[in-house]
Structure 1
Amino acid sequence: MNRYGAQAQKMWQEAAPTRYRQLEDPEEFFSTLGRQAEQMVGELIPQIAGPDPAGEGYLVKVGRLNAAKLQAEEIVRADLLAPPEIEDEDENVNPDLQDWLDWKAEAEKLRLQMLEERDNH
C-alpha cells in the first residue's frame, strides 16, 4: 500500500469507523484507492503547474512544481481519499458536541435575522 492508501485508511478509521468496519478487505480497498490517487496526482500536477514560463529559473520552477504537487494532493485527498461525510450510524456522535453545534447553528440563524432586520430599517 502506498502513502496515499495509508493516509486514506487512517482518515477512514478516524472519521468513518462504521464504514471502515464494513469494508470486506480494507487492505485491498486502500491499496487500490492509493494507486488511483497516485495516478490522479500525477495527471493533475502538469495541469496545475502549466507550461514553463520563459526565463524561469531553476529554483522558481522547483517551487512552482512543488506547489502544484501539494495542490494536486490536496484535491485528491478531498475528492478521492476522504471517507464519506455522513456515517450510517450515530454511534460515534458526542451528544455534548452535537448540542453545542445545534446551539451554534441557532445562534448564527438569529444573528443573520438581526442583521437582516437592521438592514431593512
Structure 2
Amino acid sequence: MNTYGKFAQEAWRTTAPAEYALIPDPDQWFEQLGEEAAIRVEDLTTALAGPDPVGESFLEKWGRLNAAKLQAEEIVRAEMLTPDPSVQEEPEEEDEEESGVARMLQAIQESNREDREYWEEVNRLDAEQA
C-alpha cells in the first residue's frame, strides 16, 4: 500500500470509524484508493505545473514542479483521501495519540479548504480577464 492509501486508511479509521467498519476488505480498498490517488496526483501535478517557461533555470523548474506536486497532493487529500465531514466523528478525548491525529487531519482539511478557495478565486479572476 502506498503512502496515499495509508494516509486515507488512517484518516478514515480515526475520523469515521463507523463508515470504516462498513468497508468489507479495508486493506484492499485503501490500496486501490492509494493507487488511484497517485495517478490523480501525477495528472494534477502536470496540469498545475504547466509548460516549461523559456529561460527557466534548473532551480526555478525544480521549485515550480515541487510546488505543483504539493498543491496536487493537497487537492487529492481533500477530494479523495479524507472522509466527508458529514460522516466524521469527534475523537474521544481520553486517547491522546488519537486526538492528536484527528487534530492534524482537521488542520490539513482546513488548509485544503483554504487552498481550494484560493485557487477557485484565482481561476475566477483568470476567467474574467480572458
Question: What TM-score do the two structures reach when normalised by structure 1?
Answer: 0.71
The equivalent of 2:45 in structure 1 is 45
Provide TM-score, normalisation by structure 2: 0.66
Paired position in structure 2 for 1:54: 54
2:9 corresponds in structure 1 to: 9
Identical aligned pairs, as a percentage? 49
Structure 2: give runs of 5+ residues left out of the alignment.
94-130
Mapping of 1:1-121 within 5 angstroms?
1-87=1-87
Which segments of 5 or more consecutive residues in structure 1 lack a partner in the other structure?
A: 95-121
SS at match of 1:86: helix
Cα-to-partner distance string for 1:32-87 (whole Å, 9 max, x where unaligned): 10000000011111100011111100001000000000000001000011112222
Give the RMSD, CA atoms, in angstroms. 1.9
Question: Letter of the aligned partner of 1:7 in structure 2?
Answer: F
Greater displacement, 59-68 / 79-88: 79-88
Cα displacement (A) at 1:14: 1.1
Once residues 93 and 85 of structure 1 are traced to their aligned partners in structure 2, the CA distance between those partners, rounded to angstroms, is 17
Runs of 4+ in 1 over 2 A off after TM superposition: 90-94
